[in-house]
A and B are shown apart, each in its own frame.
Chain A
């Protein structure tokens, strides 16, 4: 599974690809929703590490519009719940992630992204 929490941390690592290499764009994905116990403490703790815009846009592309455009000043339970759902419960199982800069496509199969580079792409 690729959960959005992990996707939000992932940038392209092909040779010379150091700018505009985030976020990777999902393509032709199939997703599964899987329940996971809410861990508010984790989510709160993780908040500063998120690239908010990227997360909101990615969630929208996958059909989840529950997150506000701007990170709210006050985080309440409803917000944390919505965020928890987006971060942990949307699992991308098939498809690909494409680098917005160099166009490298990282295929996802059985929920596992293939991050291997070919010889000329290794930094």
Chain B
């Protein structure tokens, strides 16, 4: 099977059918969730502080939903209208923008406390876009320069992506550096064909969190590590979000809880405890 980014431009590839298929696939949900937790771990945000994050290529909100669960406010950007539509149907909590990140971002300097991007920037490596006059290096430069300025100093951006060669990693890293970022590449499970994951871990200023070195990749066999570390924060966030969730629709609450359960969080309160204001069903 060939990589999606080789098939068609993103807004075409992720049309109505694919957007729904992608979002409802439990295997994909699982993988995207795992990578989002790992990205959050690498982001190294100060614990229990409120923050505004940017989700670059947010798609239908699989990554963003986890940011909400963790108590973050977020803004999501995506170029595929069908993916954003699914995000709307799922009533995600972030603000959504239809935006081609290769055209650059338009946020005031220092707007965000951090940024994540899950399975997106390999699309920028491809000339096969709807904007044939812009070369990949040009689009990457636009993207990284404007991202750098949109982030606070110090802060981090963690971008998981699927490179097809070391040259691609090299190209992306060098453009990010020219745009002013420090940091570098983190490879998890480098020796596993299946579990290997590449994260571009970028620092603005010192990168925050008192630690200026590029974090180490995970070794050995895949374990469910990142997720467990976030249980604490999520529980605290859930507590402070409780009131807010009570005014949500009942279906929404049930679906969220189902999500939590699927992800192995057993201590979700029984359904009867929550009552929601009447609202249209999600699915």
Contacts and interface: CB of A to CB of B under 8 A. Distances in A.
Interface of A: 1-3, 5-6, 9-13, 22, 35-37, 39, 41-42, 45-46, 49, 51, 110-117, 119, 122-123
B100 interface: yes
B4 interface: no
Nearest to B88: A110
Given A10-B107, A35-B244, A112-B96, 7 more contacts: A3-B95, A11-B107, A39-B240, A49-B111, A112-B97, A116-B100, A123-B104
A93 B244 CA distance: 21
A112 B100 contact: no
A10 B243 contact: no
A91 B105 CA distance: 21
Interface majority SS (helix, strand, loop, mixed), chain B: mixed
A19 B88 CA distance: 33
B84 interface: yes
A13 B146 contact: yes
A99 to B, nearest CB: 9
Nearest to A43: B50
A115 B98 contact: yes
B84 A112 contact: yes
A123 B107 contact: no
B209 interface: no
Contacts of B104: 13, 122-123
A35 B93 CA distance: 12
Interface residues of B, number: 34
B122 interface: no
A41 B50 CA distance: 7
Contacts, number: 80
Contacts of A41: 49-50
B6 interface: no
B29 interface: no
Contact of B103 (A1, A3, A117): A117
A116 B96 contact: no
B165 interface: no
Nearest to A122: B103
A116 B106 contact: no
B75 interface: yes
11 contacts: A10-B107, A13-B146, A37-B240, A45-B49, A51-B108, A111-B96, A113-B98, A115-B99, A116-B79, A122-B103, A123-B104
B142 interface: yes
A122 B131 contact: yes
Contacts of B108: 9-11, 22, 51
A98 to B, nearest CB: 13
B97 A37 contact: no
